[in-house]
Amino acid sequence: MKCKKENCHGKANKDGTKNGKQRFRCKSCGHVFHKESRTRLTEEQRQDAIAYRFEGHTRKETSDRFGVSVRTIERLSNKAKENPIF
């Protein structure tokens, strides 16, 4: 994982837990931080992601564009095939 501190390009390692959250510490600067909570898509973003996917873009391109995992895009695509919204 990359360090979240501005202008630092170091890598971070796991550094235990605090309040039930995994902590990370940067090897370069020593900055301690928690992993961000997962990105949630609005309904409009979901529909855009599905349309973008069905236009022929890869799962990786779609996940990068919307900031979610490839698995989330796969899940959205599978749901759309079962229950078409268009």
Q: List, for residues 3-24, the tens digit of each pLDDT value.
A: 878 888 888 888 888 888 888 8
Of 38, 42, 43, 31, the closest CA to residue 3 belongs to 31
Instruction: Compute the distance between CA of residue 9 and CA of residue 63 in angstroms, rounded to an integer.
Output: 23
Predicted confidence at residue 62, as pLDDT, reads 87
Q: What proportion of the chain, given as a percentage, has pLDDT over 90?
A: 2
Q: What is the DSSP string of 17-46?
A: EETTEEEEEETTT--EEEPPPPP---HHHH
Question: What global pTM score does this model have?
Answer: 0.50
Instruction: State both tokens at 2.
Output: 């990359």
Give the contacts of 21 (CB within 8 A, at least 6 positions apart): 34, 35
Predicted confidence at residue 17, as pLDDT, reads 82
Average pLDDT, the chain: 83
